[in-house]
Chain A
Amino acid sequence: MIDWSDEQQMLREAVRQFIEKEIVPIHDDLEHGDLPPYDVLRKLFATFGMDVMAREGFKKRIEFEKAVAEAEANGTEPPAKAERSGGMDPSMTMIPIMELCRYSPGMVTAMGVSMGLTAAAISSRGTIAQKERWVPELLTLEKIGAWAITEPNSGSDAFGSMKATARRDGDEYVLNGSKTFITNGPYADTIVFICKLDEGNPPEERKILSFVLDQGMAGLEQSKPLRKMGMHSSPTGELFLSDVRVGRDRLIGETEDVPSGGRAGAKDTFSMERSGVAAMALGIIERCLELSVQYAKDRVQFGKPIGEFQLIQEKLAIMEVHRLNVQNLVFRYIELSQQGQGLTLAEASAMKLYSARAAMEVALEAVQLHGGNGYMAEFKVEQLARDAKVLQIYAGTDEIQITHIAKDLLRR
């Protein structure tokens, strides 16, 4: 893949028109006024039939899983996986991500955590009944999801210092703990809560379990949105659980016997999340570059457009280099996925590390190129610069990506 196809370009154009019509007019409310992004995201989904597609896709997958389960129960040959024409086409999610990020990367964070991370956590290890109960409405954004692992004292070392617990009590579990920095936390309808099974054994030996919670359960408190540097269109909050009682039906997989004690990161989730960050970075970079080129032509100082100064030209050149590199990473991911191949952990991490840094550098240079205007909200690049910063922090910090890349390289 060396360029977007005609269909992909049509898709981009259509999404861009929608955004200009539906999101730009409320952009200030989203970025400066705590307007939650969910209604307009739902409208985006309905307009382009993404909700219908998600439902249909889910139905196919679940029917296949049921057929396999039935065959296993009867001891018959399980059905072959339905022949698909190639792999899936991730451009259908990458393109809306990129286009949204030209204005509001926060909306992508809110959307991605809900229909991506939260749904994937249930899809990858849940029982068929659990998937049917929670996943379709997450995929269509009818329900908003949150995925909660981070705690005040446990971030990069998510499992090591995790304090949240589940204790057995008859047929039920009692959950306790606090989670923080949780995307969609303030509004989520469906929450995946990750904690340790406390059997009185030492914390480092405890199993990691995930539970699905619904808004309004006794003992569950969802905080107001936290104030933060950027991503204002993505509400982030805290969750407090005190003696929340749940049945086994809410334990993902309905079993405590999870592979490698639940510590193995779901690889699919990693590459989904990390490639999503690359698409976000590309949207931010493209917009910053466009705004910067225009400004370099329009802004006159010392009697000429600032674009004629070599120091400004260098900034544009570096932005273009980053744009090309990140675009190539995105293209590569799309093409690999279409062929049904995945990324290695090192590749996914490298992609995320480079893209996040590139987005940050480009956005800061865009601010610099705009001078005082760059610092003003009206010119938009300051918001993108604040938003870009988090790409280096969430979904694994830069430093953690580096350790993952190195670990993978040194293991070979």
Chain B
Amino acid sequence: MNIVVCVKQIPDPAEPGALDPNTKTLKRDTKLILDESDAYGVEMALQLADAAGGGEVTLVSMAPNNETAGLRTALAMGAAKAILVSDPSLQGSDALTTSKVLAGAIKRVEGADLILTATESSDGYTGTVPEQVAELLGLPSVTFAKSIAVEGSTVKVERQTEAGYDDVECPTPCVVSVTAGVVEPRYPSFKGIMAAKSKPVDELSAADVGVTAGGWAGAGQEIVAVEQAPAREAGEVVEDDGTGAEKIVAFLENLRVI
């Protein structure tokens, strides 16, 4: 079974991020790492390929400056190869352009039975790419998967809902977005890390994947202004007169968290 995993390479969330005042977007000129959200997709793909008794996991990513650091991490975990689309003309691309680029790259992978993405990325988190990719590829899509099993040409997904989960079935090939935390991403083995260096990464331009009007030009949206989040307002102080516990319960119930 051949699986494609979309992996976004993002600025390290542990480092203080900065906005570019001109473009009002996150600066991406530092080393980028594998988005943790996508580590779950990679792990899921590796487990599914294992369960199917073979097949390849291929990574697809769009990132600036020919960045491969995040891809190498996923290759070290066990993915077989990667396609990277990196092109200055793609700078400023919106989610739809991103999806066109990813769809264009996925088309080049022969015999893909399943395309996995995360539900949303950790930095942009529009959460719109997976469905757009599915639409552009003309494939069915299932979102919020908390587990995936493949039986023949049917994908069985437990789809996370607020109350529990839905059982969903869908024919392959299809696009499935995976929720965070559903599997434990493996550590790359030492051997895997050493092998990752020599695994193939196919670097493509926007034109190679058929996207001509990418970047700022093609964006259907514009960031008009960026404001500081308002300072947090002072909380409510409740003196415990013996009914403190009940007040906490009432407060939490009001928030619908219990």
Residues of A within 8 A of B (CB): 6-7, 10-11, 14, 17-18, 47-50, 52-53, 92
B193 at the interface (CB under 8 A from A): yes
Q: Could you tell me the dominant secondary structure of chain B's interface residues?
A: helix
Q: Which of A7, A48, A53, A92 contacts B187 (CB 8 A)?
A: A48
Contacts of A10 in B (CB 8 A): 72-73, 76, 188, 193, 196
Contacts of A92 in B (CB 8 A): 190
**How distant is the Cα of A92 from the Cα of B72 in the complex, in angstroms?**
18
> Number of contacts between A and B (CB, 8 Å)?
37
B64 at the interface (CB under 8 A from A): no
Known contacts A14-B187, A49-B190, A52-B191; can you find 17 more A-B pairs with CB under 8 A? A6-B197, A7-B193, A7-B194, A10-B72, A10-B76, A10-B188, A10-B196, A11-B193, A14-B76, A14-B193, A47-B187, A48-B188, A48-B189, A49-B189, A52-B189, A53-B190, A92-B190
Q: Which of A6, A18, A49 contacts B192 (CB 8 A)?
A: A49
On chain B, the number of residues with a Cβ less than 8 Å from chain A's Cβ atoms is: 14
B69 at the interface (CB under 8 A from A): yes
Contacts of B193 in A (CB 8 A): 7, 10-11, 14
* CB under 8 Å from chain A, chain B span 173-208: 187-194, 196-197
Contacts of B190 in A (CB 8 A): 11, 48-50, 53, 92
Instruction: Assess the B76–A17 pair: CB atoms within 8 A.
Output: no
Contacts of B192 in A (CB 8 A): 49
CB distance from A317 to the nearest CB of B (A): 26
Contacts of A52 in B (CB 8 A): 189, 191
CB distance from B229 to the nearest CB of A (A): 26
**How distant is the Cα of A18 from the Cα of B72 in the complex, in angstroms?**
18
CB distance from A405 to the nearest CB of B (A): 34
Contacts of B73 in A (CB 8 A): 10
CB distance from A71 to the nearest CB of B (A): 31
Instruction: Assess the B72–A49 pair: CB atoms within 8 A.
Output: no
Contacts of A50 in B (CB 8 A): 190
Q: List 7 A-B contacts (CB under 8 A).
A: A6-B72, A6-B197, A7-B197, A10-B196, A11-B190, A14-B188, A92-B190
CB distance from A290 to the nearest CB of B (A): 14
**How distant is the Cα of A49 from the Cα of B189 in the complex, in angstroms?**
5
Closest to B188 in A: A14
Contacts of B187 in A (CB 8 A): 14, 17-18, 47-48
**How distant is the Cα of A53 from the Cα of B192 in the complex, in angstroms?**
11
Contacts of A7 in B (CB 8 A): 193-194, 196-197
**A-B pairs, 7 with minimum CB distance:** A49-B189, A48-B190, A14-B187, A10-B193, A47-B187, A48-B189, A49-B191
Contacts of B191 in A (CB 8 A): 49, 52-53
Closest to B192 in A: A49
Contacts of B194 in A (CB 8 A): 7
CB distance from A90 to the nearest CB of B (A): 13
Contacts of A53 in B (CB 8 A): 190-191
